[in-house]
Amino acid sequence: MPELPEVETVVRELNKKLKNRIIKSVVVNAPKMVAVGPVTVSNRREEKVHDVKKFISLITGNKILSVTRRSKLIIFEFSNQLIMLVHLKMTGQFIFEDLKLKQKTNSHYRLLNKLSAPLVKLPGKHTHVIFHFTDGATLYFNDIRKFGYLKLVTRKEFNELKEIKQYGPEPLDKSFNLDVFLALVENINKRKTSIKQMIMDNSFVVGMGNIYSDEILFQAGVSPIRKVSSLKKQDWKNIFNWIKPILQKGIEAKGSSVGDFVRTDGSWGQMGKFHFVYGCKGKECKKCGTIIKSIKLGGRTSCFCPSCQK
DNA sequence: TATATTGTTACACC
DNA sequence: TGGTGTAACAATAT
């Protein structure tokens, strides 16, 4: 499940691999997953926004200038000034193969990375968009659930996108410090929602989903059930103190492959090995031995240690 | 076959 | 009315 560290992992790898490559052709197998213009792609009833021919013609022939990130959105900048926004949602994947790798593994099934890699068939059942480059390299976009999207916008449209405008600060920015965080808390500290849901709210601070919010709250010693309005200043300080370290650890481990997340070479991220609570329901707490519990908050499963988190 | 899954948004409510 | 909280939605594996 791609959250900030997983998206950052993909973005760093793609930027390195795709920069200055030129798109020779594009294949779209799932028209509903692509769009042109600043439209709400998730509204699948608006069939007319899925203009596949336009999408393909606008991209073909372009050089990729850079691949960056805002929150969990991946941002491709093309030489014709257009911007492609990609959201991986739950199960989106980018897998890249250069010509050398293709020639080496002539099989239809490719074990892309010998270390901790799932067997990947390319293109597979869930490959929805394929980018072919002029040098023979290929980029596959896979998505088991088809919740993700690829959206092409102009720079002007990009600057006006409402989903980006409502994003809170990037937690790993140097400017995101304790004072900035506590000032943000002033705006929301009377809310009746749970701290868990608050941390996952991208209009507060971006990038933290179910995995990292659980891990941060565990280390901060704050129960996910707690109402935002009940938190003391020290609780907020504790939470802040763990946001950057845990997200950074996730990036160092190349993400957490609890769901279907893979890196751009098809291999798994290693962050799952360092989880203290997420996916640990029924196991002993690594700190105190108490059995990790789980509860539903806002329809989402939250895992926590009843002893370490108050 | 019912259920679980998540980021985002539409909508109901006070 | 505007801010807040909740439910619905996308599609698939199990």
What is the C-alpha R_g of chain A?
A: 20
CA of A203: nearest nucleotide by C1' is: B8
End-to-end CA distance of chain A: 27
Question: Nearest nt (C1') to A145 (CA)?
Answer: C11
Q: Is the CB of A42 under 7 A from strand C?
A: yes
CA–C1' distance A90–B7 (Å)? 8
* pLDDT band of A163, cuts 50, 70, 90: confident
Distance from CA(A179) to C1'(C11), angstroms, rounded:
42
**Percent residues over pLDDT 70 in chain A:** 90
Measuring from the CA of residue A296 to each C1' atom, give the nucleotide at the shortest distance: B4
**Mean predicted confidence (pLDDT) in A100-109:** 60
Catalytic residues of A: 2-3, 72, 300
Distance A261 CA to B6 C1' (A): 13
E-only strand ranges, chain A: 23-28, 34-36, 64-70, 73-78, 83-87, 92-97, 109-110, 120-121, 127-133, 138-143, 149-153, 293-297, 300-304
Q: Which pLDDT score is estimated for A99?
A: 82
Among A36-45, A191-200, A254-263, where is mean pLDDT lowest?
A: A36-45
Which nucleotide in the DNA or RNA is closest to residue A33, CA to C1'? Answer: C10
Average of per-residue pLDDT across A36-65: 78
Average pLDDT of the residues in A151-161: 89
Band of residue A13 on the pLDDT scale cut at 50, 70, 90? very high
Residue A44 CA to nucleotide B1 C1', Å? 25
- What DSSP designation does A228 have? G
Task: Spell out which residues of A between 110 and 139 contact strand C, using CB within 7 Å.
Answer: 125-126
* Nearest of A199, A198, A137 to residue A171 by alpha carbon: A199
| Least confident piece of the model among A71-80, A208-217, A218-227, A273-282 | A273-282
Q: In which element (H, E) is residue A18 found?
A: helix A4-18
Q: Which bases along strand C come within 7 Å of a protein CB atom?
A: 4-13
Q: Which tops the pLDDT comparison, A159 or A235?
A: A235
SS3 A243: helix
A282 touches strand C (CB under 7 A): no
Do A158 and A83 meet the contact criterion of CB atoms below 8 Å apart?
yes
On average, the pLDDT of chain A sits at 88
